[in-house]
Amino acid sequence: MMTRTQLSFEAEMLHEARRRARRLGISLAEYVRGLVAADLGSDEPAVDPSAVFNLGRSQGSDIARRKDAMVAEAFSGQRE
């Protein structure tokens, strides 16, 4: 169950938060909930695990030798 609350932000901070949420394709409320959940140590993964599946052909990459490091990198959010 969600509980409604009221928060106060400086105008510029609110503007930037709305812009970030819009870029992420989520509501401001969802954006703020995500930040609070992350700060409180939510059990939700920071990166969607599906990011490492169905990547296609390796095309000569070194995935066989570096798979553990590459999976760890994907889960840490460092891979772009």
**Residues 12-60 pLDDT 10s:** 999 999 999 999 999 999 999 999 988 898 565 566 666 666 666 656 6
Q: Is residue 23 part of a domain?
A: yes
The helix or strand, by DSSP H or E, that contains position 35, with its residue range, turns out to be helix 28-39
The answer on 28 and 17 residing in a single domain is yes
The answer on 39 and 49 residing in a single domain is no
Count of structural domains, the chain: 2
The answer on 55 and 28 residing in a single domain is no
Q: What pLDDT sits at residue 47?
A: 64
Q: Is residue 3 part of a domain?
A: no
The answer on 63 and 53 residing in a single domain is yes
The answer on 34 and 16 residing in a single domain is yes
Q: What pLDDT sits at residue 48?
A: 65
Alpha-carbon distance of 33 to 48, in angstroms, equals 17
Domain that residue 49 falls in: 45-80
Q: Is 79's pLDDT higher than 50?
A: no
What is the pTM for the complete model shown? 0.51
Structure tokens at 71: 């999976």
